[in-house]
Amino acid sequence: MPHQRITRRAIGALAGLCLTCPATTAAEPPAAVRTLQLPPELLASLDARVQRAIEEASWLEELPLDDVAPGFLFQAE
């Protein structure tokens, strides 16, 4: 959802800022990542890769997908 996207981008930007400040840890990751209990410095080191993943996923918002059903079982194509 758009607001989540905006929030995540804001968090990402914040995390990027945090990287410039060694005393500060990166922004709170999603619950799925929190369960991994990764050290803050490792999470902070992932910021560029996380931003790239989010950006690449966001490009797909440009596609006309309203009437498309998701799926990968293409036998009927």
Partner 1 sequence: MSELCFLSIAAAADRIRAGKLSPIELTRAHLERIRRLNASLRSYITVTEEAAMREAGEAAAAIAAGRYRGPLHGIPISYKDIIATAGVRTTGGSRSLANWTPTADAHVVSRLREAGAVMLGKATTFEFAWAGTSEQDFIKPARNPWNPKFPAGGSSNGSASGVAAGLAMASIGSDSGGSIRNPAHLCGLTGLKPTFGRVGRTGVLPLSYSFDTVGPFTRSAEDAAILLQAIAGQDPADPTSSNRPVPDYRAGLSRSLQGCRIGVLPSYMEAVGADVETLRAFDEAIRVLRASGASIREVTVPYLHYSRSVTWTILRIEGFDVHRRRIRDRRGELSANFVQTTVPGGFLSADDYLRAQKARRLIASELAKTYRTVDLLLMPTNPRPGSGANYAKEPADPRIGRSGEAYVTPFNVNGSPAVSIPCAFTRAGAPIGLQIAGRPFEDDFVLAAAHRFQRETDWHLRFPSLV
> Given candidates 6, 17, 33, 40, which one binds partner 1 under the rule CB under 8 A?
33
13 near partner 1 (CB under 8 A): no
Q: Position 52: which residue type?
A: R
Q: Where are the beta strands (DSSP E) in 1-77?
A: none
Distance, CA of 12 to CA of 63 (rounded, Å): 24
Tokens of 47: 């910021």
Rounded least distance, CB 14 to partner 1, Å: 13
Dihedral sign computed on CA atoms, order 27, 9, 53, 16: negative
Tell which positions 35-74 bind partner 1, by CB under 8 A: 35-38, 42-43, 45-46, 49-50, 52-54, 56-57, 59-65, 68-74
**Residue whose entry in the numeric block shows the structure tokens 């194509």:** 77
> Would you tell me which residues interact with partner 1 (CB under 8 A)?
1, 4, 8, 29-30, 32-33, 35-38, 42-43, 45-46, 49-50, 52-54, 56-57, 59-65, 68-75, 77
